[in-house]
């Protein structure tokens, strides 16, 4: 079983829709989590950190559920510019190993 | 701004060649990572380093080695390149308890 798993999608949604991605992790010792965004042929860039208490940044909300070992990303009022691949990341161990999910592709259409 | 720089954007090498991919970061980060990214497989961790001269195997270390002689530089070495190592290689660095920053990637083709 992969350490971090995501539904690869693609998720095709109309502009203005709300879309949610989940990511499950298998290592209960994972310490920190992040969501990254990757545009086609570009490097991943940080979208937001994920906290147990949940955090919001504009149209984006991230949640961590340690009991069920999943993290989520909610995007409200989707824009065409949100089309990208969204990667969840977990950090484990004293050496801080960074493990990525395979990514979920989002396509926002008119 | 944090800067992570990979030495090449595109490389073409022949089977059997020894290949060096260089990564330099300018923010005194402790951790550095090498990933390869392939369609449908996501980012897979090859090696990472948590300090100078320290290294740990990731999920797919076979056919690769690394070197970290200085804190700012983390090199990935393909001892004898093979066609199945054709991929996008991404370097990342981070300080403890913070997010990772990526280089722009090196697209390596082995012919």
Residues of A in contact with B56 (CB under 8 A): 95, 97
- The β-bridge relationship of strands B10-13 and B106-110 is parallel
Candidates B40, B90, B94; nearest CB to A43:
B90
Q: What is the pLDDT of residue B35?
A: 97
Closest by alpha carbon to B11, among B111, B108, B110, B80? B108
Q: How close B108 comes to chain A (CA, Å)?
A: 13
Confidence of residue B4 (pLDDT cuts 50, 70, 90): very high
- pLDDT tens digits for range A49-96: 998 888 999 999 999 998 999 999 999 999 999 999 999 999 887 667
What is the average per-residue pLDDT within A16-42?
91
Q: In what order do the strands lie in the sheet with B19-25?
A: B4-6, B19-25, B73-78, B64-70
Comparing A24-33, A63-72, B3-12, the range with the smallest average pLDDT is A24-33
Per cent of chain B over pLDDT 70 is 100
Q: How far apart are CA A33 and CA A89, in angstroms?
A: 5
pLDDT digits (tens, 9 = 90+) for B71-102: 999 999 999 999 999 999 999 999 887 889 99
Please tell me which residue of chain A has the smallest CA distance to B31: A96
Q: CB distance B102–A101 less than 8 Å?
A: no
pLDDT in tens, A32-57: 899 999 999 899 999 999 988 889 99
- Answer whether residue B1 shows pLDDT above 80: no
Does A87 contact chain B (CB < 8 Å)? yes
**Which of B50, B59, B103 minimises the CB distance to A96?**
B50
Please judge whether B50 and A87 are an interchain contact, meaning their C-beta atoms are less than 8 angstroms apart: no
- Mean pLDDT throughout B36-47? 93
């Amino acid at each position: 079983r992969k350490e971090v798993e995501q539904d690869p999608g693609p998720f095709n949604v109309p502009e203005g829709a709300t879309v949610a991605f989940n990511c499950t992790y298998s290592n209960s010792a994972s310490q920190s989590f992040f969501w990254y965004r990757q545009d086609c042929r570009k490097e991943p860039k940080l979208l937001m950190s994920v906290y147990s208490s949940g955090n919001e940044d504009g149209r984006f909300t991230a949640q961590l559920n340690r009991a069920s070992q999943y993290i989520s990303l909610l995007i409200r009022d989707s824009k065409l510019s949100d089309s990208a691949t969204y990667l969840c990341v977990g950090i484990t161990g004293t050496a801080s190993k960074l493990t990525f999910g395979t990514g979920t592709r989002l396509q926002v259409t008119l | 701004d944090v800067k992570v720089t990979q030495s090449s954007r595109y490389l073409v090498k022949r089977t059997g060649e020894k290949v060096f991919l260089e990564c330099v970061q300018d923010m005194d980060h402790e951790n550095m990572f090498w990933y390869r990214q392939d369609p449908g497989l996501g980012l897979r961790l090859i090696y990472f380093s948590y300090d100078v001269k320290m290294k740990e195997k990731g999920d797919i270390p076979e056919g690769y080695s690394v070197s970290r002689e200085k804190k700012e530089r983390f090199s990935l070495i393909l001892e004898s390149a093979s066609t199945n190592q054709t991929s996008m290689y991404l370097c990342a660095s981070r300080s403890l308890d913070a997010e990772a920053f990526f280089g722009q990637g090196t697209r390596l083709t082995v012919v």
